[in-house]
């Protein structure tokens, strides 16, 4: 994330501290902190045009691996399996989930399902 104050690329997610932080998060603006100048700012995980593609709900990563639906364990995972919604796994944070959004253009389509650890 690029800092709007010093223009460095050392931005990291900051912890939400106030009710305003939670309200901004509800509309997709998250708190960030620059590790160089320590300024705090709000920004989206990704541009709005990219948010219409499948991405990890935790870290925003778009490099996803298609997995078999039985590896997704959540409260309503039975519904995703029943509706045959594609299951994905985020490599960096290892989060497994279902998404009806299309994958990013240029993502290599897996010919087979992989194990999800």
SS3 labels along 27-74: CCCEEEEECCCCCEEEECCCCCCHHHCCCCCCCCCCCEEEECHHHCCC
Task: Give the pTM.
Answer: 0.58
Place of tokens 């650890």: 117
Q: How many CB atoms lie within 10 A of CB 64?
A: 23
Q: Specify burial of residue 76 (Cβ count, 10 A radius: 0-12, 13-18, 19+).
A: exposed
Q: Give the tokens for residue 74.
A: 């959540």
Mean pLDDT of 20-35: 89
Q: Are 62 and 90 in contact (CB under 8 A)?
A: no
CA distances 103 to 9, 94, 111, Å, are 26, 17, 15
> What is the per-residue pLDDT across 59-113, written as a single tens digit (0 to 9) for each?
778 889 999 999 999 888 999 999 999 999 998 889 999 998 888 765 544 444 4
């Amino acid at each position: 994330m690029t800092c709007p104050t010093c223009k460095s690329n050392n931005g990291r997610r900051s912890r939400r501290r106030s009710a305003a932080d939670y309200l901004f998060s509800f509309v997709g603006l998250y708190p960030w902190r620059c590790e160089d100048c320590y300024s705090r700012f709000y920004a989206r995980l990704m541009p709005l045009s990219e948010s219409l593609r499948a991405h990890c709900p935790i870290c925003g990563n778009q490099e996803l691996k298609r997995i078999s639906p039985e590896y997704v364990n959540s409260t309503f995972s039975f519904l995703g399996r029943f509706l045959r919604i594609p299951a994905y796994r985020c490599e960096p944070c290892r989060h497994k989930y279902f998404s009806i959004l299309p994958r990013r253009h240029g993502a290599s389509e897996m010919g087979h399902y992989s194990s999800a650890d």
